[in-house]
Amino acid sequence: MAQIEYLAMERWIDSKSAEAKYDLSSSCAKIISIQDLTALSEDKSESNEGPLSTQVLSRCLGYGEMAGSTALRSTLAGLYSVKTPVPLPIENVTITSGASLANYLVFQALCKPDDHVIVHYPTYQLLYSVPQSLGADVTLWKAKEDDKWKLDVEELKGLIKPNTKMIVLNNPQNPTGAIIPRTTLKEIIAIAREHSIVVFSNEIFRPLFHSVHPGDEEFPPSVLSLGYDDVIVTGSMSKVYSLPGIRVGWIASRNKKLIDQCTKLRSYTTISVSQLDEAVAAYALDGSCLHALLKRNTDLARQNLALLVSFIEKYKWACEWVKPVASSVAFVKFAKMGKPVDDLEFCAQLLQKKGVLLVPGAQCFGPGEYTGYVRVGYAIDAKEFEAGLDLLKEFMEEEYENIPLAGRKLAIR
Ligand SMILES: Cc1ncc(COP(=O)(O)O)c(C=O)c1O
């Protein structure tokens, strides 16, 4: 097995977050406590004891159901079956410790050395570093920065090789907040079907669609509902559902064999996921909580994004972006006279001088690309976001002129 790189973004956030007074690096929608989750529920009856009900607390804590609790898997299968002609069977969902493990298992189970894997880019590093570490030949399929981060399907056709095993998508996309629209998804599926390629879509930011309406004809469905069996998706409670601390994610596929391959490997890593975590996840995804939680987070994303829009407008001499339509993250490029600034230096000085944490783009989504970019997480607590943005404004007035251009100074931190 080849060496694997550090997961640069997690390393950056972990090493810097203790210094941050305002953490605008997070892609998790405002995290929530069990008490607040219970209060958010639309079930106001006395019998609603919250996720850790007497029934859960009195349960003996064995391994539980190894593929994941029936309650959680059937809720997830139900969510993936909305507006689809063929419901997703519960056996086609397996629970993991976060999407991190879900993603890892998909690659470990389905990629062999010398398989060719095409990865939508930029994206979360795990999605290309893990197949690389397994010896796969990875081609990055770049979204067009100058065309609203759109993907060119003609280009995809040219990337296919006889040994192409998998096309990896991230929809909505981290770090841009762009979506792959329905038509493009269908075109990708048609190409995959023609060449018998598995489509793996990381849908962790689904369904945080704050600026595209479900009635829009290009609104992206989950790839699970596009009539092709060799698709596999991963998701998680961490981002859209505000619960990264419970470490619950999942893998779902129309093809039971693909799920079985992942579940077989999962036994070697976790055996089963914590039953308490699963109980919290099942409660949050249940009808009486789900809509309120999604509304809370979509409203927050819209409210904070409006502030970010005004910031970009005010500092348009220094920054530009493609406004995100979904997710909790935006990718903003800072430049001087058209030349990108050193984003690592920008983030390091912003943290040191103002206590605001952002994610440097080249460091965490490059390397060697996306210089000048920073990722901003905007679905966090509204007061924290506003205060952090005010400090970023101060930084722009007081310090921006001293930030070096990319490549002018070797910044190793
Ligand atoms: C695209 C993507 N996938 C997976 C993860 C990891 O998620 P989890 O907390 O569920 O392990 C992240 C976290 O930032 C992510 O952005």
Burial grade of 167 (CB within 10 A; 0-12, 13-18, 19 or more): buried
Q: 89: CA distance to ligand 1 center in Å? A: 25
Contact 32, 382 (CB under 8 A): no
User: Beta 198-202 vs 329-336: how paired, if at all?
Assistant: unpaired
Given 261, 289, 317, the domain boundary residue is: 289
Rounded CA-CA distance 249/240 in Å is 12
Q: Which residues line ligand 1 (CB under 6 A)?
A: 27, 98-100, 103, 124, 170, 174, 202, 204, 236, 238, 244, 249
Rounded CA-CA distance 355/17 in Å is 10
What integer pLDDT is reported at residue 83 of this predicted model?
86
User: Among 204, 208, 246, 269, which is best to mutate for testing ligand 1, by the most ligand atoms less than 8 A from CB?
Assistant: 204
Query: What pTM was computed for the model?
Result: 0.96
Are 299 and 284 in the same domain? no
Query: Residue 19: which CATH number?
Result: 3.90.1150.10
Identify which of 250, 379, 276, 375 has the alpha carbon closest to the alpha carbon of residue 322: 375
What integer pLDDT is reported at residue 368 of this predicted model?
80
What integer pLDDT is reported at residue 411 of this predicted model?
46
Given 238, 256, 289, the domain boundary residue is: 289
In a structure prediction context, what are the per-residue pLDDT tens digits for the chain, which is 413 residues long? 568 989 999 999 999 999 999 999 999 999 999 999 999 999 999 999 999 999 999 999 999 999 999 999 999 999 999 989 899 999 999 999 999 999 999 999 999 999 999 999 999 999 999 999 999 999 999 999 999 999 999 999 999 999 999 999 999 999 999 999 999 999 999 999 999 999 999 999 999 999 999 999 999 999 999 999 999 999 999 999 999 999 999 999 999 999 999 999 999 999 999 999 999 999 999 999 999 999 999 999 999 999 999 999 999 999 999 999 999 999 999 999 999 999 999 999 999 999 999 999 999 998 789 999 999 999 999 999 999 999 999 999 999 999 999 987 544 44
Rounded CA-CA distance 198/191 in Å is 10
Is there a domain that residue 265 lies in?
Answer: yes
Residue 320, CB half-sphere, CA atoms under 13 Å: how many? 12
User: Among 100, 123, 232, 329, which is best to mutate for testing ligand 1, by the most ligand atoms less than 8 A from CB?
Assistant: 100
Identify which of 28, 127, 80 has the alpha carbon closest to the alpha carbon of residue 327: 28
Are 280 and 300 in the same domain? no
Rounded CA-CA distance 65/48 in Å is 24
Given 289, 319, 347, the domain boundary residue is: 289
Are 130 and 259 in the same domain? yes
Are 86 and 216 in the same domain? yes
What is the tally of structural domains in the chain? Answer: 2
Is there a domain that residue 68 lies in?
Answer: yes
Are 193 and 55 in the same domain? yes
Q: Which residue has a Cα nearest atom 2 of ligand 1?
A: 124
The identity of residue 2, as a single letter, is A
Q: 99: CA distance to ligand 1 center in Å? A: 6
**Ligand 1 nearest-atom number relative to CA 10:** 14
Are 312 and 336 in the same domain? yes
Rounded CA-CA distance 186/67 in Å is 30
Q: 59: CA distance to ligand 1 center in Å? A: 30
Sign of CA dihedral 5, 411, 408, 315: positive
Q: Which two tokens stand for residue 55?
A: 């029934």
Are 12 and 161 in the same domain? no
Is there a domain that residue 334 lies in?
Answer: yes
Q: Which residue has a Cα nearest atom 6 of ligand 1?
A: 100
Query: Residue 190: which CATH number?
Result: 3.40.640.10
Is there a domain that residue 165 lies in?
Answer: yes
Are 223 and 315 in the same domain? no
CB count within 10 Å of CB 407 equals 10
Domain enclosing residue 140, as ranges: 47-289
Are 316 and 267 in the same domain? no
Are 133 and 257 in the same domain? yes
Is there a domain that residue 124 lies in?
Answer: yes
Give me the residue label for tokens 């998804």.
Answer: 185
Are 130 and 257 in the same domain? yes
Are 273 and 307 in the same domain? no
What integer pLDDT is reported at residue 409 of this predicted model?
58
Is there a domain that residue 41 lies in?
Answer: no
Q: What is the DSSP letter of 32?
A: -
